[in-house]
Structure 1
Amino acid sequence: MNILVTGAAGFVGSNLVERLLEDQNVKVIGIDSFIGPTPENITRQNLKSLLNHPRFTFYEEDLLNVNWRSYLTGVDYVFHLAGMPGVRSSWGPDFQSYVTNNIDVTQRLLEASKHVPIKKFIYSSTSSVYGEKTGKVSEDAILEPMSPYGITKLTGEYLCHVYRKSFGVPTVILRYFTVYGPRQRSDMAFHRFIKNIMTDKPITIYGDGKQTRDFTFIRDCVVATASVLHAKGVIGETINIGGKERASVLDIIKELEKLLNKKATLHFVDAAIGEPKHTWADIKRAEQLLQYRPKVDLKTGLKEEIKYVKGIYFNS
């Protein structure tokens, strides 16, 4: 079984590749261009244990101009995880980078995929496509993204639908809800919180800190993602991938203070534009189609992320 993973050096991508390679019958081609907010030297560490793996081949490429047909030859499954992340940085002149990496790259990969007999094309999307919602949100909810980032990811979803309906590209869309854990991007909340508490720097809180998120531990996320390979009846589906627990930002900081045995200094600023107050995934469809059951609670997950953050900043 030959699998192509774009964004293979990233947070979700590198963890997914490790999960896929647990199957002795799998060979993985990974592609990445090292974009995004995390320093490149940290991102490259994500691949440290993979580069010498006999069933993994890695290419550093400009995904906009790559010859996708050559990479797709002989590939059975595509996991398209590459993209420009981040809500707050998607406003203003940086938007063009989001258009290029989240829309143009996706279109070119889909265009190439229509010419090869792949079995599934799995596209990673985001809860940001929903916008502000009350209570659990199902995949059938009205989509009202609140940020340019969310708009570009939703456009990628629409491209998947168009290429499936017009050319038979077997697309599956996964909407991730706030993934955290080892290798989390340096701009994401938990990573910043842990690093700043450990270095006695203030933590910036956008708004009142009472906003809640459906937090998904990375191991649960990649188990769900990898399960799409063998799942039946999923082509054309859109599936929420949520976590085991929800919590507020202030709740998370209190838990981190306990785990680190240090008090955090909080700096409150205006609420960020483009971010919903609450997210909460209805995962019934994932339970039915993927037999997905998130297992990792927040305390356990935070302990693992603390260990990771300590490792890259203080034990290297």
Structure 2
Amino acid sequence: MRQRTRISNGGKVKGPQQLEHVVVTGVAGFIGSHLAEVLLKQGASVLGIDRRPPSHDPTAAQNLADLIAEPGFTLIEGDLTDLDLTRFTKGASAVFHLAGVPGVRPSWGDRFTDYLASNIMATQRLLEACAATDVPRLVLASSSSVYGTGTDRPSHEEDLPTPLSPYGVTKLAAERLALAYALRPSTPTSVVALRYFTVYGPQQRSDMAIYRVLEAALTRRPMRLYGDGTQRRDFTYVDDAVAATIAAASAPARAEVVNVGGGRTFSMLEVLECAAKITGLDIPIVRDSRQSGDVETTAADLTRAQQLLGYRPSTSLIEGMTRQWKWTLNRPAVPLSQ
């Protein structure tokens, strides 16, 4: 079953052609820090917002290390649920909203209140600020988790979303909220929501599969493998995800949802084989049961991404994992406390 997610309101709207000044929320995160770095190289000034202060968060410090000294970069430390966001969105060519609480497994139970505040309430406040300051384009980070179980074919943006975790529910709610704001009469802010499919690469979060596989190779401590390893994922290298994200800022759109994937799927057993080939080591594993909210397969239909963004992923899994392995070998140790 499909439902329409490509919505028109008086024709398509062209996003800003020149990104002179942009806002990146979640800038101390994995994708956010990569995105900010590329935007700076392209000549944009970047105002980054993140609630994780690098002075107290070692991972944030590591991710921001190459950005802090850049003359075009400004860091605002604070929570989107508390800040006066109109101060920071005023004059922006585009806002890239990557902030949020990630992770399927931790979203069950008491932590849901944080997911609710960070993924939904913060998004609503940012949308209000963008509308009040005439920001022409908001690019929203969504997730393949909104699809749920999927089908026997790649997921299309018009498929009916059936998220299987509280995390997926909050990402879908943020999407719908952003589209609703974009479709208000006379609204100044158009929206492109990107459904990322399992992004990996240097600086990947430590709870993600490829990070854990390569960490097991490095430390010889067994990786916990959930399920039988036949579950398949559409892995997307971070450089490809960033290219799609920047393209979304100028794509002709009013209110669009777009998949961003790697172009093919791999099972976890194939990922383990790939890691063994790259590292020259057997990957120690400990088997565990499948976890609540985990889906059997994710696969992206990239037709709309190709048409709207000119997006074609260019990094193979073995190439991307090789780059991440080199980063794993060379990254500075992150202290347990600071």
Query: 1:22 is matched with which residue?
Result: 41
Query: 1:229 is matched with which residue?
Result: 249
Mean CA deviation greater in 204-213 or 44-53: 44-53
Query: 2:116 is matched with which residue?
Result: 99
Q: What's the CA shift for 1:314?
A: 6.0
Change (3 A) 1:109 1:252: same
Q: What is the 5 A alignment of 1:90-239? A: 90-134=107-151, 135-166=153-184, 168=187, 169-231=189-251, 233-239=252-258
Q: Distance in 2 between matches of 1:69 and 1:315?
A: 35
Q: What's the CA shift for 1:312?
A: 2.4
Kindly provide the CA deviation profile for residues 126-151 of structure 1, in whole angstroms up to 9, marking residues without a partner as x. 00000011211100000000000000
3-state SS of 1:282 partner: coil
Q: What's the CA shift for 1:272?
A: 1.0
3-state SS of 2:195 partner: strand
Q: Distance in 2 between matches of 1:315 and 1:67?
A: 32
Equivalent residue in structure 1 for 2:92, among 75, 83, 93? 75
Percent sequence identity is 40
Q: Distance in 1 between matches of 2:49 and 2:81?
A: 12
3-state SS of 2:150 partner: coil
TM-score by length of 1: 0.95
3-state SS of 2:281 partner: coil
Q: What's the CA shift for 1:288?
A: 0.5
Which consecutive segments of 4 or more residues in structure 1 shift more than 3 A? 313-316
Aligned length: 311
Letter in 2 for 1:19: V
Q: What's the CA shift for 1:313?
A: 5.2
Q: Distance in 2 between matches of 1:314 and 1:78?
A: 32
Q: Distance in 1 between matches of 2:304 and 2:162?
A: 21
Change (3 A) 1:270 1:315: closer
Q: Distance in 1 between matches of 2:211 and 2:107?
A: 20
Q: Distance in 1 between matches of 2:138 and 2:35?
A: 15
Kindly provide the CA deviation profile for residues 77-136 of structure 1, in whole angstroms up to 9, marking residues without a partner as x. 100000000000000001111001101110111112221111101111000000011211
Q: Distance in 2 between matches of 1:46 and 1:218?
A: 14
Q: Does the CA contact (< 8 Å) of 1:77 and 1:121 recur in 2?
A: yes
Query: 2:21 is matched with which residue?
Result: 2
Q: Distance in 1 between matches of 2:334 and 2:183?
A: 50
Q: Does the CA contact (< 8 Å) of 2:206 and 2:212 recur in 1?
A: yes
Query: 1:285 is matched with which residue?
Result: 304
Q: Distance in 2 between matches of 1:130 and 1:277?
A: 12
TM-score by length of 2: 0.89
Q: Does the CA contact (< 8 Å) of 2:59 and 2:334 recur in 1?
A: no
Q: What is the 5 A alignment of 1:10-49? A: 10-24=29-43, 26-34=44-52, 40-49=57-66
3-state SS of 1:114 partner: helix
Q: Distance in 1 between matches of 2:37 and 2:159?
A: 33
Name structure 1 gaps, 5 residues minimum: none
3-state SS of 1:21 partner: helix
Q: What's the CA shift for 1:34?
A: 2.1
Q: Does the CA contact (< 8 Å) of 2:150 and 2:298 recur in 1?
A: yes
Mean CA deviation greater in 160-169 or 245-254: 160-169
Q: Distance in 2 between matches of 1:78 and 1:314?
A: 32
Letter in 1 for 2:134: P
Q: Distance in 2 between matches of 1:77 and 1:196?
A: 39
Query: 2:318 is matched with which residue?
Result: 299
Q: Does the CA contact (< 8 Å) of 1:245 and 1:298 recur in 2?
A: no
Q: Distance in 1 between matches of 2:90 and 2:255?
A: 23
Q: What's the CA shift for 1:62?
A: 1.8
Mean CA deviation greater in 163-172 or 4-13: 163-172
